[in-house]
Amino acid sequence: MQKQTKISIALAVVVTLVLAAMLLFLPGRGGDGPTAVTTAEEESVLVREDSHVLGEPAAEGGVTVVEFLDFECEACGAAYPFVEQLRKEYAGRVTFVARYFPLPGHFNAERAARSVESAARQGKFEEMYQKMYDTQSSWGEGSEPLDDLFRSYAEELGLDMAQYDADYDSAEVAARVKKDMDDGIELGVQGTPTFFVDGEPVELRSGDDLVRAVEDALAE
């Protein structure tokens, strides 16, 4: 099977899950979906100075893809390997930015985001980000708090556990997660995953939409 065909099939599955997730977990804030980012002020809302970049940023003049995500969201879990594939294929040309958007219908989503942010404060953002998605099928959709499970992930990553515990329970980390959510709401994000390519929201209506948006941005 050709590479482009594999990408299309993978993203088609993601699109279906995204639409289902949005119907189930819309925050109820109204609007017609994500709005385009057109001013310098809005761009600072989309990518903050402390926003987390996956891997290395693109060279100057590269394209930026921003994903608002929820670690407990099944559609985000389905998008995860696809995003990892795109990161490899567009290395050096595209910067991938991950932003927290835990949905209220997911019991442990905000806890997972705080765990990832706590790991980030010890330089382990990407490792914990990957851990959450690699294990999502074993803990997602539960109704019991999983603080201890997420703490065990931090131990596996070799984090300073005293610092992790302090960060995980801190108002500062909770505020950091909330800031991403507030920015997403301001941008019109209503479900996860929601992607922006160079400030423009991507409507995932077909399997090629995200790839096409990236290719178009690279061609400009």
Residue-wise pLDDT for 94-104, tens only, equals 999 999 999 99
Q: Indicate the residue type of 203.
A: E
Asked if residues 101 and 189 have their Cβ atoms less than 8 Å apart, the reply is yes
pLDDT tens, residue by residue, 161-217? 999 999 999 999 999 999 999 999 999 999 999 999 999 999 888 668 999 999 999
Biggest CA–CA distance in the chain, Å, is 49
pLDDT tens, residue by residue, 111-149? 999 999 999 999 999 999 999 999 999 999 999 999 999
Q: Is 68 left (phi over 0), alpha (psi -120 to 50) or beta?
A: beta
Q: Which CATH fold would you assign to the domain 3-219?
A: Glutaredoxin (3.40.30)
Rounded to an integer, what distance in angstroms lies between the CA atom of residue 93 and that of residue 218?
8
Q: For the chain, give every domain's residue range.
A: 3-219
Question: What kind and span of H or E run contains 190?
Answer: none
Asked if residues 131 and 93 have their Cβ atoms less than 8 Å apart, the reply is no
Rounded to an integer, what distance in angstroms lies between the CA atom of residue 155 and that of residue 97?
25
Place of tokens 């070799």: 158
